[in-house]
Structure formats: C-alpha cells, structure tokens
Structure 1
Amino acid sequence: MSRRAALRGLGATVALPFLDAMAPTARAAQGGKSFPTRIGVLFMPNGVRQDRWTPEGEGKDFKFSPILQPLERHRVDINILTQLGHANCRGGDGHYAKTANWLTGTEIEKTTGKNLRCGVSMDQVFAQEAGRLARFPSLELGTEPVMTGVDFNVNYTMLYGSHVAWRTPTSPLPPEINPRFVFDRLFRENPEQRKASALENKSVLDLVLSDAKALRGRVGADDQRRLDEYLESIRSVEQRIEADIARVASGENLDPAARDAITQLDQRITASMAQQKDPGSALRLDHTEHSRLMMELMTLAFWNDSTRVSTFMFGWAVSGKNFTFLDGVKHGHHECSHHENKPEKLDQYQKINTWHVEQFAHLLDRMKSIKEGDGTLLDHTLMLFGSSMRDGNAHSPKNLPLVLAGHGGGLTGGRHLVSSNDTPLCNLFLSMLNLAGTQVDRFGDSTGPLKGLV
C-alpha cells in the first residue's frame, strides 16, 4: 500500500497513519527507514522566573527545578539546554527584537510597518526539503490573533511579535488560531466542500466511512487496530471542537441537558463565523483546552504525515493572556513577567511558567502513546520548547530557557547540557536540522553543531 494512501469520501480526505501494509513503500521512500523525523516547536512568551528554571547538576546527574518538575516523568526523553542565546538579538528593545528572530538568529529591521525584514527560520529551512514529501510544507498554530499596528513604546510593528516562522526574510507565516479551521484544512478537501459538510454537520469520518470499511478488509489485525485507534483520535478532536464552540456560544456553563442541541449550535456558529471578516479574533476558548486542541492537531498532522514540521505559539510576544484561572494568579501574563523582583509577582510568574511546562508534558504524553514500529511518535520527532528571552523583566536573549524532547535522528535524552557562556542558539538549530536529515553546514550565526548534543 502506498504511504500516500488516504480514506476518501464526498468532501473529505483523511490521511492514514503508518500501517504495516505500507512498510515496503515507506522504507523505500525514506531510503530504507520506515519513519521520517518530524520537527515541532512550541513558543512560550514572556520568558521565565530564572531562579526557579535551571536544574541543579549537569549531564545525567541533575535534579529538576521547580518549574520543570512536570517533566520528571519524561526524564529519559528530554535534554534541558543551558547557556544558549542570540547575540544578534541584544540590540533591539523589548520583546519584538527577540521574538520574530527566535528561530532565525538574525537581527530584525527596526520598522513601524514598512521594510519588514528578519530571516528564514529553522523550521522553514527544514520545510523546504521535508515539505515536499508531505501534504503541507509546514503547519503554523497559535492561540492569539496576529497583532497589527505599532508599539510606540519601542517603535516596532507588532507584526514582529506575532510570528516565529519565516518562509523568507520578508514573509512571516501567521499562525492559525481556530481549531475548526485547522481541522478542516487537514481533513476536508476544498473550501466549498468544507462549508457544505460543516453546515450539514457531517463528521469527516462519516464521509469516509465506506472507504474505511473497505480498507479494514484488506489489512491485517494489527493494522485494523491501528486504524481504529487513529480514527477514534480524529473523532475525539472533532467532538472536542464542537463541544468547545457550543460552550462559547451558550455561555461558560453549558447545561448537560443542552448536549442534544450541540449539533444545532455548531451549525449556527459555523454559519455566523463564515460571515465574519476575522472569525479567529472572536474566539474565546478555555486557554488550556484551546492549547491542547492545537497541540493535538499538530500530533495528528505528524501522525498521518500531513506535515513534518509545525510551530505553535502559546501566545504572541507581549501576551497579556489572563491566567487568573490558576490559583493565586491575579494578573495577566505580561504584567506578571514584569515582576520587578516583587515576591508576589514572582510567585504568580512561576505558576504561569509551570502551566506552560505542564502543557508541554501533556503533549509528550500523547506522542509517547502513539506507536510507530518498535517505538513511538516521540521517538521519531524533535520537539523544541522554550522562550525567546530569559527573564521577562530584563528582556535578555542570553541563556534562554530551552528543552529539547524526542529521539528523532537517534538523539539521546535524560541530560542537562550546559554549554559555554554565550553559545549561539543557532548551533542547536544546526544540529536539529542535521539530525532530521537536512544537511546544512551553517545556520544563522552558528559556529558548528552543538557540542555534547550528539
């Protein structure tokens, strides 16, 4: 069976996960390897409480810091990276000069709108090669809309703070924040069919049911089990999107008795959102669920090989996301990051940082639950999590908070790697690209592969 095989129906195409029946063609396409390496990047805005971030000890003999404690269960799958930074980000003021170029390592053009210029981001260098082998070259996801206008405190266009992926030095790739749109992009064939199917409230799985039944009769028991598990995961995401949109439309507390009306509510909301110029800006989803939906969509896209590289922004550069849903947090994210070393704000800042790490740990749980051959999806992925500044109060691009998870390219985990001071972060990007099969000699201001990583 071809690795590009898919389930098809009127208005829907569902790419398939790796099945044993695909083994010969998949291995041939990968030069003898059954699974490609994927690259995922998760951006956390506003830095971290630095005195509670760095682990004690180095190498394999280290103790998790308070903020990183949620990753303890994934110890063997992660590398915590210390003393990496961007020399080219030190000249600009505020958040913008550190966020837009987080994945490029280049200086940005100081502008209020014209002459937008950054660099090509690491994910897009990978997409230029690996993207040709998947349905989508890359997938950019987020939770907050792209910000426009000018921040006159520092005289930068706010566009710089809303993007981490750059296809060219002048072409940023905006993140999609609406999970419904991402889902439809991945699983429905064209705009008109997407609209018709959504308005009729047809599940994509209903649309491809006949093809799925036929496929089950052609494959072995293990493949049948994998197929059932995969389709159930898709349906779960679909149901969560429907339920969350219905909850938003009917108020924060959806009466259980209203569950039967979810279909009608979903239909009305889909129709009304289709009439809006910027429907994404109207989203008011629970931040935890919204983030997890987007990470699940990234996972599904990796699993079915719709894409091999994806970025996710928990928030834009100066995110003021309200975190009062966490016990003891009274302020927005950006305000807490400007803590002025006040104990009360530092404690709230730490809780927000820990929440982000918990979401990353949740993603790793999910990726480890997906079997691929003798390993898991995480075994064939490189997942970078971190921020573009060390401390939100100081805006320093030195010694950035970074965690690299996964075993793509045979990477070993379970270590706290401490580099020499001011080691270029681009050394890590160079190593990630090489591990993923994109052989480049230099990236940004790299001086060579990151020592000790491989």
Structure 2
Amino acid sequence: MKIDRRFLLRGTCQGALAVMGLPFLDCFLDSKGESLAATGRPLPTRFNTFFFGCGLTQQLWIPKTGGKDYEMTPQLKPLEPYRAKLNVFSGLRVPLDDNPNIQHWSGAAAAATGISPTKPNEFGSKTIDRQIADVISHGARFKSISASAAGDPKQSYSSLGGANTLPAEASPLSLYTRLFGPGFQDPTKGDWKPDPQALIQQSVLSAVADNRKRVMQNLGTADRARMDQYFTSVREAELQVAAQLQRPEIQAEVAIPAAPAEMVCNNSLPNLRNVTPLMARLGALALATDQTRVFNLSISEPTSSMFVPGDSLGYHQSTHEEPIDPVLGYQPQVAQYNLDSMELFAMLLKELDTVPEGDGTVLDHSLVFAFSESGNARVHDANGLPIFLAGGASGRMKAGYHVAGDSSPVSRVGLTIHRAMGVSLDVWGKGSMEIRQPYTDLLA
C-alpha cells in the first residue's frame, strides 16, 4: 500500500465517502527528513481551580494554630461559611533549583505543575487540571473549561505544557454559548435526543477504523509510534462524541437559565463582583449536567490589575508603592484587595455548594484547588503561597484543617489532589519538588 502526504483514511458513512487525514509522518519525507518525498455508576468527582494574583498578607491570612481548631483570620473571614469543607495550607516552599525566580510566575507554575519554570508564561508540563482531566473526563462533553472573570482569554492557567496555554472564555455570554449554546442537549428534559451532527461525526470515525488498521501494517516503527499518538487524540475525539450521544446520568436539581446579556468584563472590582458569581454559576451548572468535569476560573493575571475606581495605583502597583502602615505593620490598601480576592473565591464556593446533588451538593462531589503566585508580592517571594482545597471529592477528602507550615514543597498538595481525585500516581513534580508523600491525614 502506497502511503503519501495526500493519503486519506477512507470508509463509507450513510452511503457517502468518509475520509480522515493523517498526521505528518516520517514516510512522507525524503531521506534527509527535510522535504516531502511526494448507569449504575457513581456520581463523577469533579475538579476545579481558582486563581487569584498577588497572594495575601501573611499576618492577616495565616492562622496561628494548625489542625482542626484554627481561628478564622481576617482575610479568611469570607470563607467562614465553608470552613467545614475547606483546608488551608501555609508555609509551603517553591524550590527553584537552578532556575531563576521569575517574578509573578514561578509560584503559579510550580503550584500547577510541581515543576519550577524556566521561562515566563510557560509551564514545565501539563497543568494539574489537564492531568486530572485525562483521567476523569471520559464521558463528559468537554474535557475541561476555563473562564476569565476579568475578560481576558489569556488569563488561563490550564496548559498542555510549554506555551500551549488553553484560552479562557472571556465573558459570561461566551461561557454560556460554549456550554449551553448550539449542540447542548438539556439532560433534565424528557425530549432529550442526540445531536445529529454528533451522530455523523461518530459514523465518520468508525468508518475509517478498518482502513487505519491496514495503514499501520505498512509503516515503520517511528511512524507507527507517531500514528499511535495521533489515534490517541482521535480516540479522545471519539469519546467526546460518544458522550454527546448518551443522556448524562445526573442527580442534580438544576434548571438551565436563559443566556446572559453582554456584560463589561475587566479588572474593575465592581465588574468582577458582577461577573464572577455568574461565571461560577454557569460552571456549577456545567458540572452538574456533565458538560465538563473540570472547571477553571481566574479573576486576574499574576500581576493582578484589579482596581477600585478612583484608586490611582491599583492592586499590583500598590503592593510595591503603598507604604507599610507603622501601626498596623502591613499595607492597608493591599490588604483590602487581598480580602476582595477571598470574597470572589467565596462566590465560587457558594455556587458549587448551592446546587443539590445526590446526598449533598456539587461542592461535596468536587475538589477545588485555589492558588496564587506570590507568598509576598511586595518582594516577589513565591515561598509561602496561600493554597486552599475545598470540597469533599465525593468523600475522598477530609476537610476543616489548617495544615500549618511544615516547609513541604508546594507539589505535596498536588500529589494529594491526584490521590483524592482517584488518580493512581506514586510521584509528582520534578527536581526538589519531586514528592512521593501526600498529606495522607487528609485522605479519607
């Protein structure tokens, strides 16, 4: 069988020709490789992330005692209603090894991957949300969904590795359209039926299956490996299509709202207070209806540009230019922005905890990983990142604890997340952040 760059996998679909192209294989190249040669299943456990820039003020957020009976500090007060479903982590390290401290980036990348980054705005591997999505998202319509409350698609901390960051939905309307627009079938309605386009896609993928087996027999070792990788991605597409052909088995009591109106989405705090709960609500509904099992929400870039109208500095600039109050011992305006960030985080938890599902809520069947990039934004110190885990992970995660600073690498939280999400993983992270011991006391 002759295989060249124009070769197509062929089959028949509904009486018509179905075709699929191939990836770029070695056999398409010349000898130098430089040119062409011519039911009854349990409820799914969901994963969420929440990112907020510029950290918190250490003396205002870190409880003085560890364990179950810690006090809710001033900056944790917005999270008080969720104390029983929340774990607080302080004193975690971000070892850089021989890499530079990339200001407002090293901490975020380390928390999301367990790897110290070497370049700004790049990740050393897939981020934790995508790693978990690879395991838990089979059967969901979307592998993961990201949203930026500040209206910037670049404010995403979900990546396939390197600079391959996945863009975020940048408005409630775009998020709604992605989730509940064309192609959405409401699983709560009695007239649910598969999307005809999904049926056609499934038929095309099935039609070329026999042809691709014959093609594999005519390839060299390297090209077979490349084709295996290619068909792994094709298989993911097949699973996504198959998910659209099955009515999701849901237990949540939800009603899909009408599409939201266009809204102003930017870094203004009043706008963030309007947009964040709406995006959080749409994310909670998406999880409840099994449109996705991984939802990421961010409220800022690492150098947070959040501002209050009338404030000439804004959040990030205030961390560097606002004087430390000699009586208070901290920067008052920065502390207020910190508190605002926690109030926005609480909005996500509220929406997840408002949707009844089975014997609890969507939050009870989720794990929420909230993180920042700075332990002390004033001096660009990544150590001491504020880290939070919320939700019960379907009974796999104990909650209500302050895990006081034991100088563990931040990657220890990441390994704990994997274990709580049912991901079989012995080690996570690299270099000084390679970790084999999760917080076993938190795992149920």
- Match of 1:69? 77
- The correspondence of residues 248-263 of structure 1 with structure 2, limited to 5 A, is none
Local SS of the residue matching 1:420? coil
Q: Does 1:435 align with 2:411?
A: no
Determine if contact 2:415/2:427 at 8 Å carries over to the other structure: yes
**Deviation sequence 1:44-74 (CA, Å, 0-9, x none):** 1011111111012111121111000111222
Shift of residue 341 of structure 1? Answer: 4.8
Local SS of the residue matching 1:295? helix
Determine if contact 1:407/1:413 at 8 Å carries over to the other structure: yes
Q: Does 1:189 align with 2:182?
A: yes
CA 208–64 in structure 1, closer or farther in 2 if over 3 Å, else same: closer
Local SS of the residue matching 2:303? coil
- Match of 2:439? 450
Shift of residue 163 of structure 1? Answer: 3.8
Letter of the structure 1 residue corresponding to residue 58 of structure 2: Q
How far apart, in 1, do the equivalents of 2:190 and 2:119 lie?
Answer: 57
CA 451–83 in structure 1, closer or farther in 2 if over 3 Å, else same: farther
Q: Does 1:212 align with 2:189?
A: yes
TM value normalised by structure 1: 0.67
How far apart, in 2, do the equivalents of 1:49 and 1:175 lie?
Answer: 28
Determine if contact 2:50/2:370 at 8 Å carries over to the other structure: yes
Q: Return the match for 1:48 from 19, 35, 56.
A: 56
Q: How many residues get paired? A: 339
Q: Does 1:235 align with 2:241?
A: no
Q: Return the match for 1:413 from 377, 399, 422.
A: 399
Q: Does 1:105 align with 2:114?
A: yes
- Match of 1:319? 304
- Match of 1:94? 103
Which structure has greater strand proportion? 1
Shift of residue 388 of structure 1? Answer: 1.6
Shift of residue 287 of structure 1? Answer: 1.5
CA 285–353 in structure 1, closer or farther in 2 if over 3 Å, else same: closer
Which structure has greater helix proportion? 1
- Match of 2:319? 337
How far apart, in 2, do the equivalents of 1:333 and 1:283 lie?
Answer: 10
How far apart, in 1, do the equivalents of 2:51 and 2:148 lie?
Answer: 9
TM value normalised by structure 2: 0.69
Shift of residue 393 of structure 1? Answer: 0.4
Q: Return the match for 1:180 from 149, 170, 173.
A: 173
How far apart, in 2, do the equivalents of 1:386 and 1:321 lie?
Answer: 17
Structure 2 regions of 5+ residues with no counterpart? 1-38, 193-250
Q: Return the match for 2:47 from 35, 39, 61.
A: 39
- Match of 1:81? 89
Local SS of the residue matching 2:364? helix
- Match of 1:352? 337
- The correspondence of residues 278-317 of structure 1 with structure 2, limited to 5 A, is 286-317=271-302
How far apart, in 2, do the equivalents of 1:235 and 1:310 lie?
Answer: 18
How far apart, in 2, do the equivalents of 1:442 and 1:50 lie?
Answer: 30
Identity %: 26
- Match of 1:133? 139
**Deviation sequence 1:395-450 (CA, Å, 0-9, x none):** 112121112111114212111111422x1111111111111111111111223212
Say which one has the larger Rg: 2
Letter of the structure 2 residue corresponding to residue 118 of structure 1: G
- The correspondence of residues 11-22 of structure 1 with structure 2, limited to 5 A, is none
Q: Does 1:124 align with 2:130?
A: yes
